[in-house]
Structure 1
Amino acid sequence: MPILSVRHRTVYRYRRPVSFGEHRIMIRPRDSYDQRLIEASLDIDPAPATLRWMFDVFGNCVAVATFDTRAETLTFDGRITLEHTPEHAPVFPLAPHAVLYPFGYGVEDMPDLSRSIERAWPDPRHEVDAWARSFLPAEGRILTQDLLAAMTRRIRATFTYVARSEKGVQDPLTTLRTKRGSCRDFAVLMMEAVRALGMAARFVSGYLYNPGNDRGRHVGGGSTHAWVQVYLPGAGWVEFDPTNGIVGNRDLIRVAVARAPAQALPLQGSFFGLSSDDLGMIVEVDVTESADDNVHGLAGNAAPPLR
């Protein structure tokens, strides 16, 4: 069980001192059986007038900061240490009725899963539908795990990853037609494809551990990362990272889950000034394995656009 450390630093720069509106920070990982938060801190400069913590509707931990000063820079510096339990060869204990696709969800689950099954993007010519169904056999049924793994790895093998600094998410039809996109674009395409097959899927934001920044192993490091969870009866919410072809949680540090990407922004806020005052931002994310395996205890305190 490796101990991973995350340094996430965001600096907003302005031409002259500006004042700031409320900022919401979502960089504290979710505690779970496969990742245990050991320590977390959040430093903000200039210091906020108030800083409070809350859980959003999805159970994500959010810090809310307000400010009463003006400045030319605004810095958020988060540091996290956690114990991570990777699943190198995940075998999901699916319920017997869900081992083969198609399957159905139980009536007790549908009220909670229905919004995660609904399509969120228009597909007038059913292009995403057709792409999703291309993974199905001409006759008979397919192992559910094989279906989802094939979709995850097809994106990794045949699509080109590009880091995008633009806000928001690319239309999944654009991603499908161009076969290019960022991690959040690939996540949204896979979510829509999975939903087209009647399965519940949700968006995940977090961090990617890539030892030595090895692009032969993973792409998408150096900033926040995005992937997908699919709800499978008997296994629950299972991780799929189409950017890197990862099935399971290996090298993935989960921070926030949401029905849509806009609900899982690591950092969002506003400033008061002219648009020309905005000089952009600097984002630094570094994920390393800690040499100190004796770090124990629980945390105190603890985002840029997804790339």
Structure 2
Amino acid sequence: MAIFIVRHSTTYRYEREVRLGRHQLMARPRDSFDQRLIDFSLDVTPKPSEVRWLHDVFGNCVAHIEFDRASDYLRFDCEIKVDHTPENAPDFRIEDYAKDHPFTYHDEEAPDLAPYVQRWFSDPEDHVGRWLDTFLTRGTKRPTGQLLMTLNEAISDGFAYDRRTAPGTQIPSTTLELRKGTCRDFAVLMIEAARSLGFAARFITGYIYVPDRDGPVWLGGGATHAWCQIYIPGSGWVEFDPTNGIVGNRDLIRVAVARIPSQAIPLFGTYWGSREDELGMNVEVNVKTASALL
């Protein structure tokens, strides 16, 4: 068990005062048996006229933040304290019928899982399938857990991480062509590959703890992150982080789950002004253990 403390700050600057519109924030971690939210605080500058919390269709906590003023500066500061219980090794307790792949989800679960099995990105030339064929023999019986770990490792070992400032997520065929991408790109590639094999898979956004950066100084000690979960009968939704080759929740702090990446954007909003008014955005994220700050 570990107590993680997250500080997440996002700052927007503008050439002149612009009228601020609604902003939507996803930063409050999800409560679960392996992750308990101890405390969460949000400070917004300038002061908003209203902050309204709601649950979206996936049960994520979402803040709608309204403003009644103009400003040349906008800042969101979140501080989070989470009690985290890591799974240091995958514990695949798989139902007998699903121990080997391919298998079919049981009738009572299949309707609820169907949206997560359906592929989202068009792939008429089957780029994902042809990539899978380089290390898997599709249609051949294989242990389910072994197959998924192989897929996770194929992305972790075969692609280069490339920080990209442009918004959005690459389509899987682009990631396969470039052999590089961001954590969101790798999560999407794994999701689409798993779905092509008949698995239910969903997108996760949150934070990652980086042990090598831990310490008493609040500087570069973590990052926002994206990975995926795959539904395995008997084990439920299991975490796979293809960027780092992690299976299970070790060092991962879940904030939001979604069917596709555009449903889990940490922060976005509007303003009234010209495109040239925007001077840029700065994001600072630190994830520390409480013990390192003593």
Cα offset for 1:20? 1.0
Normalised by the length of structure 1, the TM-score is 0.90
Distance 2:30 2:72 in 1: 32
Q: What aligned pairs does 1:51-130 form with structure 2 within 5 A after superposition? A: 51-130=51-130
Amino acid corresponding to residue 93 of structure 2 in structure 1: P
1:226 aligns with 2:226: yes
Q: Aligned residue for 1:23?
A: 23
Distance 2:151 2:248 in 1: 14
Distance 1:111 1:225 in 2: 29
Cα offset for 1:213? 3.1
Amino acid corresponding to residue 152 of structure 2 in structure 1: T
SS of 2:151 mapped into structure 1? helix
Q: Aligned residue for 1:299?
A: none
Q: What aligned pairs does 1:1-307 form with structure 2 within 5 A after superposition? A: 1-137=1-137, 140-213=140-213, 222-291=222-291
Cα offset for 1:177? 1.6
SS of 2:223 mapped into structure 1? coil
Find runs of 4+ consecutive structure 1 residues off by over 6 angstroms.
none
Unaligned runs of 5+ in 2: 215-219
Amino acid corresponding to residue 77 of structure 1 in structure 2: D
SS of 1:270 mapped into structure 2? strand
Cα offset for 1:125? 1.4
**Larger strand share, 1 or 2:** 2
Q: Deviations over 1:87-116 (max 9, x none)?
A: 011212111111111111011111111111
Tell me the matched-pair count: 289
Distance verdict in 2 for CA 1:139–1:229, change over 3 Å: closer
Distance verdict in 2 for CA 1:292–1:159, change over 3 Å: closer
Cα offset for 1:41? 0.3
Distance 2:131 2:221 in 1: 28
Unaligned runs of 5+ in 1: 215-219, 295-307
Normalised by the length of structure 2, the TM-score is 0.94
SS of 2:227 mapped into structure 1? strand
Cα offset for 1:138? 7.4
Cα offset for 1:21? 1.0
Cα offset for 1:292? 8.4
Amino acid corresponding to residue 272 of structure 1 in structure 2: W
Distance 1:92 1:82 in 2: 25
Cα offset for 1:207? 0.2
CA contact (8 A) 2:184 2:227 kept: yes
The CA RMSD over aligned residues, in Å, is 1.8
CA contact (8 A) 1:202 1:257 kept: yes
Identity %: 53
Amino acid corresponding to residue 21 of structure 1 in structure 2: G
CA contact (8 A) 1:100 1:143 kept: yes
Amino acid corresponding to residue 56 of structure 2 in structure 1: D
CA contact (8 A) 1:24 1:65 kept: yes
Q: Deviations over 1:240-279 (max 9, x none)?
A: 0000000010110000000000000011111110110000
Q: Aligned residue for 2:217?
A: none
Distance 1:130 1:51 in 2: 47
CA contact (8 A) 1:34 1:86 kept: yes
Cα offset for 1:18? 0.7
Distance 2:92 2:228 in 1: 16
Cα offset for 1:79? 0.3
Q: Deviations over 1:199-247 (max 9, x none)?
A: 1101000000001239xxxxx9753100010011111110000000000
Distance 2:242 2:203 in 1: 12
CA contact (8 A) 2:26 2:265 kept: yes
Distance verdict in 2 for CA 1:138–1:24, change over 3 Å: closer
SS of 2:128 mapped into structure 1? helix
Q: Deviations over 1:50-81 (max 9, x none)?
A: 11110000000011110001111100000000
Distance 1:278 1:235 in 2: 46
